[in-house]
């Protein structure tokens, strides 16, 4: 069980891992990012506790400690119990979720392990919006995709905003980096994956017809630029979501959801 | 063509329609909302100009005026030309999109007119998140849904954030209010629509099997509470998106996108 420590002074150094979260958000920003992982709110803290991430400490109000009691039975770290006001002063803003957990980043997962038993994975290139990354993991979890892989130039999926938007699923859905992008895609090919590029290009094959593999890896680029030609050339087929004329591409996480759905529907 | 008016004083009363946008966002917040509609950025201003919304005035920097020149040929209102600094001071924050248009709200569209030639519509209940509303319109536009209808307790789709997240599609995709909720759904029934509730309930019919009508109206509730039982009882079938165990429901705009996609795929 967590050991409850009452805190009355917002300057207490034991709260340093939770201090000024908005400014610690300005840390360097790479998929291999540094810094602690912060979970906000009861649901995300529950997911953190069940995940491969190990909490260092929690900070929250009495009510949230009560709500989390069953989840924290096997968690042997401090729970800094305080008031909403002290919490707001330490964190730097008012948090109406009332509880935070801080965790160290575990060692990155090995790409070969992540893809070994997977059937559907998303591979991202140039996706540098934390909200989109979070939505991607939420949609992957909801629609049963097995992993998210990072090709070139993506942002840190463990950034606080991304963790929050993912509803904690970034802590559950495995992710790994594809080295030597895009040549490293050979690992997927060697594991029997069909490599499918998603593109708004109207000459591409409709999504439902394009995904013919037993195992499918979906490549998605950032909104706007999309996938690089370099990456698309390394794939087996270019697929498009049928779009209405005169509209833009869908949000990248929504496009992925459409493909995940198609895999579930035909799976 | 717009008539260009140079402005050097951020306090100039001609900028009042654009003043302190963050605080004017705190206005009453209903689908029938008041207040001007604000379009931000070149793309959204272009969509405004092509829409049923009539601009009152534009405010922007020289560069954006140049980019919009072709779009503004038939627009007979002032373009207040100024610097990024004056703009930031009047608006209350720095806008890196460099151009704004303000428009009056046109008279609401008539529900019967909106559904007359429609094949796929979304009907929302309790969706009070402006970002979700914006995403809903973006997905409707991208995947060819014909209209968005408002049942009970939704927020204002013309709120600034909603307009921005929709990428201006809220100005293009027709919307109307269903009166006397949910009894007013009879208008859809009389027009030959199959009424389909979306629910995460695992006993519901899978989405792909549930949508059998030539015309389909999809009912969607807010994340969390979902549709009221009252609303679901007024529909023909309850449909679910196949979800992975132990996950939450999808974001409401993502769930709608899945259903729109299914309509395109089978249409």
H-helix segments, chain A: 21-24, 42-50, 62-68, 84-91, 111-116, 130-142, 160-165, 186-190, 207-210, 229-233, 252-266
What is the reported pLDDT for A28? Answer: 47
Q: Which fold has domain A111-266?
A: Alpha/beta knot (3.40.1280)
Q: What is the mean pLDDT of residues A39-52?
A: 96
What is the reported pLDDT for B185? Answer: 96
Contact B257 A250 (CB under 8 A): yes
Q: What is the mean pLDDT of residues A4-14?
A: 95
Q: With beta carbons under 8 A apart, name residues in chain B contacting A261.
A: 241-242, 258, 261
Which among B143, B244, B249 is the nearest to A244, CB-wise?
B143
Identify which has the larger pLDDT, B20 or B164.
Answer: B164
Burial of B183 (0-12, 13-18, 19+ CB in 10 A): exposed
The tens digit of pLDDT for each residue in B110-141 reads 999 999 999 999 999 999 899 999 999 999 99
Does this complex have an ipTM over 0.90?
A: no
Q: Do domains B3-103 and B111-266 have the same CATH topology?
A: no
- B113 closest CA partner among B147, B142, B136, B158: B147
Residues pairing with A120 in the sheet: A216
Q: How many residues does chain B have?
A: 267
Question: Can you tell me the distance from the alpha carbon of A166 to that of A52, in angstroms, rounded to the nearest whole number?
Answer: 16
Residue from A170, A207, A258, A267 to probe the interface with B (highest B Cβ count within 10 Å): A258
Enter the tokens of residue B136.
């809903």
Residues pairing with A121 in the sheet: A147, A217
Question: Can you tell me the distance from the alpha carbon of A147 to that of A80, in angstroms, rounded to the nearest whole number?
Answer: 34
Contact A265 B250 (CB under 8 A): no
Alpha carbon of A233: minimum distance to chain B alpha carbons (Å):
26
pLDDT at A104 over 80: yes
Mean per-residue pLDDT over chain B, rounded: 91
Which among B139, B242, B265 is the nearest to A250, CB-wise?
B139
pLDDT at B20 over 90: no
Q: With beta carbons under 8 A apart, name residues in chain B contacting A138.
A: 248, 250-251
| Top-level class of domain B3-103 | alpha beta
The tens digit of pLDDT for each residue in A178-213 reads 999 999 999 999 999 999 999 988 899 999 999 999
Question: Can you tell me the distance from the alpha carbon of A184 to that of B221, in angstroms, rounded to the nearest whole number?
Answer: 43
Identify which has the larger pLDDT, A160 or A243.
Answer: A160
What ranges make up the beta strands (E) of B133-181? 147-150, 175-177
Burial of A241 (0-12, 13-18, 19+ CB in 10 A): buried
Q: With beta carbons under 8 A apart, name residues in chain A contacting B256.
A: none
What is the reported pLDDT for B28? Answer: 47
Domain residue extents for chain A: 3-103, 111-266
pLDDT at A31 over 70: no
Which among A142, A257, A265 is the nearest to B257, CB-wise?
A257
Question: Can you tell me the distance from the alpha carbon of B226 to that of B249, in angstroms, rounded to the nearest whole number?
Answer: 9
Which among A208, A254, A261 is the nearest to B139, CB-wise?
A254
Mean per-residue pLDDT over chain A, rounded: 91
What is the reported pLDDT for B24? Answer: 60
Q: What is the mean pLDDT of residues A71-95?
A: 94
Residues pairing with A266 in the sheet: none
């Amino acid at each position: 069980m967590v050991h409850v420590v009452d805190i009355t002074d917002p300057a207490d150094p034991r709260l340093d891992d939770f201090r000024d979260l908005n400014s610690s958000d300005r840390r360097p920003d790479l998929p291999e990012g540094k810094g602690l992982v912060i979970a906000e709110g009861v649901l995300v803290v529950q997911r953190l506790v069940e995940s491969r991430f190990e909490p260092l400490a929690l900070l929250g109000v009495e009510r949230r400690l009560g709500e989390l009691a069953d989840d924290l039975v096997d968690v042997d770290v401090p729970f800094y119990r305080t008031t909403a006001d002290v919490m707001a002063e330490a964190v730097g803003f008012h948090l109406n979720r009332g509880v935070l957990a801080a965790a160290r980043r575990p060692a990155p997962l090995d790409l070969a392990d992540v893809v070994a038993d997977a059937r559907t994975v998303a591979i991202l290139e140039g996706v540098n919006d934390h909200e989109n990354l979070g939505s991607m993991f939420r949609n992957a979890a909801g629609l049963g995709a097995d992993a998210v892989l990072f090709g070139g130039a993506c942002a840190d999926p463990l950034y606080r905003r991304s963790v929050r938007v993912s509803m904690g699923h970034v802590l559950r859905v495995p992710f790994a980096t594809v080295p030597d992008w895009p040549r490293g895609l050979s690992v997927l090919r060697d594991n029997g994956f069909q490599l499918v590029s998603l593109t708004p290009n109207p000459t591409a094959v409709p999504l439902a017809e394009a995904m013919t593999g037993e195992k499918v890896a979906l490549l998605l680029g950032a909104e706007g630029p999309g996938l690089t030609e370099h990456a698309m050339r390394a794939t087996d087929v270019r697929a498009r979501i049928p779009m209405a004329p005169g509209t833009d591409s869908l949000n990248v996480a929504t496009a992925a959801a459409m493909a995940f759905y198609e895999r579930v529907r035909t799976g």
